[in-house]
Amino acid sequence: MKFNTKTIHGGQEHDKAYGSVMPPIYQTSTYAQSTPGGHKGYEYSRTHNPTRNALENAFASIENGKYGLAFGSGLAAIDAIIKLLKPGDEVISTNDLYGGTYRLFTKVFEGFGIKFHFIGMENASNIEDYVNENTKLIWVETPTNPMMNIIDVKAASNIAKRHNILLAVDNTFATPYLQQPIDLGADIVMHSATKYLGGHSDVVMGALVVKDKELADKLYFIQNASGAVCGPQDSFLVLRGIKTLHIRMQRHCENGKAVAEYLASHPKIAKVYWPGFENHPNHKIAKNQMKDFGGMISFTTKGNNYNEAIRIVENLKIFTLAESLGGVESLAGHPASMTHASIPKEEREKTGVVDSLIRLSVGIEDAEDLIADLAQAIG
- Of 228 and 372, the one with the shorter C-beta distance to ligand PLP is 228
Hey, which residues between 204 and 233 contact ligand PLP (CB under 6 A)?
Answer: 204, 206
Question: What are the phi and psi torsion angles at 188 (to 5°)?
Answer: -135, 135
Query: Smaller CB distance to ligand PLP: residue 149 or 194?
Result: 194
Q: Could you say which residues in the range 64-93 bind ligand PLP, by CB under 6 A?
A: 73-75
- Binding of ligand PLP at residue 171 (CB under 6 A)? no
Question: Cβ of residue 24: shortest distance to ligand PLP, in angstroms?
Answer: 25
Task: Please state the closest distance from residue 170 (CB atom) to ligand PLP, in A.
Answer: 5
Q: Is 231 helix (H, G, I), strand (E, B) or coil?
A: coil
Task: Choose among 100, 316, 334: nearest CA to 204.
Answer: 100
Instruction: Report the residue from 6, 52, 83, 195 that binds ligand PLP according to the rule CB under 6 A.
Output: 195
Q: How far is the CB of 372 from ligand PLP (least distance, A)?
A: 27
If binding is defined by CB under 6 A, does position 170 make contact with ligand PLP? yes
Spatial strand order in the sheet of 206-210: 67-71, 206-210, 188-192, 166-170, 135-141, 90-94, 115-119
Residue 145 sits in the site that holds ligand PLP (CB under 6 A): yes
Tell me the window of 8-16, 120-128, 167-175, 279-287 that interacts with ligand PLP (CB under 6 A): 167-175
Distance, in Å, from the CA atom of 156 to the CA atom of 141, rounded to the nearest integer, reads 11
Q: How far is the CB of 73 from ligand PLP (least distance, A)?
A: 3
Whether omega for the bond prior to residue 181 falls within 30 degrees of 0, making it cis, is no
| Rounded distance between C-alpha atoms, residue 305 and residue 14, angstroms | 55
- 141 near ligand PLP, judged by CB under 6 A: yes
For residues 332 and 316, the answer to whether their CB atoms sit within 8 Å is yes
Helices (H), 190-231: 213-226
Contacts with ligand PLP by CB under 6 A lie at 73-75, 98, 100-101, 141, 145, 170, 172-173, 192, 194-195, 204, 206
